[in-house]
Amino acid sequence: MKIVVLDGYTANPGDLSWEPLKEIGKLEVYERTAPSEVLSRAKDAEAVLTNKVVLSADTLKQLKCLKYVGVLATGYNVVDIVEAKKQGITVTNIPAYSSNSVAQMVFAHILNITNRVGYYARRNREGKWSSSKDFTYWDTPLMEISGKTMGIVGLGSIGSRVAKIAHQFGMDVFAVTSKNSADLPEEIHKTTLDGLLATSDILSLHCPLTDSTKEMINAENIAKMKKGAILINTGRGALVNENDVAEALESGHLGGYGADVMCQEPPVPDSPLLKTPNAFITPHIAWATYEARGRLVDMAVANVKAFVEGKAVNVVNK
């Protein structure tokens, strides 16, 4: 079996190993693959692994040897799964590998906004504390999150983990979810989106990007939120209207925006959120801890092995 990894660099820039895949078949690993290079690199492959390289219907039709596509992520919108099924190509993904790491990033953003650790570290380097007349120095509001209301949109693996951590911080947790109230832990209270917007001191987005959730956080819904509320987005950039969020931050209606995702990645240099005060953007790294990437690579290998053995797991196009 010939196995081709089209864009292996982000998952494994060199600190992990693809060696276990060599035990399954002949392996070729590319750090990055341009759209114009996909056919030439994958033409003889029976198995292709991709993270962000798109495998369209037209491309799949031309890859006559292809039997398996392993997506190196949880989301699999980079592959036309309908066409893959028509061609008899099995497509798998890697669920829940980064839940702990993404939940950690959610609270990294929350604590950065409420405690301003980075800001005060910079102020100290500028000599502000050294020149203070008092034993302490602060010039921004500081918030204790215990007792505040945490709103969560989506209670999948990551959203549920965030809810658990929020509860441990002493927060009241409310969520918009398709799950039945009776099936939720007692510390999570189900509500409507309007109810969540009206009550949340901190709102965190963990739902899939669909036609109904695209730009769900827009000017109209931001107006329903508490003045000074904090918005966190580690889901998908397009869950928010970035211009509306920037305007709400400028006006002070939103107290802070912490995001690890943007509508366009990498973002355009003149994106308003990159320059807006109280917008804190990290470059899509919540998933990229060493531990999470290690689980990703291990699960990718396990997915290929299971397919070869005729016991495919994590199949998304059954």
Q: Catalytic residue positions? A: 236, 265, 284
Q: Which residues pair with 193 in a beta bridge?
A: none
- What's phi and psi for 35, nearest 5 deg? -55, -35
Q: Positive or negative CA dihedral for 220, 222, 225, 226?
A: negative
Q: Positive or negative CA dihedral for 303, 307, 308, 309?
A: positive
State how far the alpha carbon of 87 is from the alpha carbons of 90, 91, 156, in Å.
Answer: 9, 11, 31
Q: Which residues pair with 55 in a beta bridge?
A: 79
Give kind and range of the element (H or E) at residue 229: strand 229-233
CA-to-CA distance for 164 and 178, rounded, in angstroms?
18
Helix then strand then coil, % of the chain, to nearest 5: 35, 15, 50
CA-to-CA distance for 216 and 36, rounded, in angstroms?
34
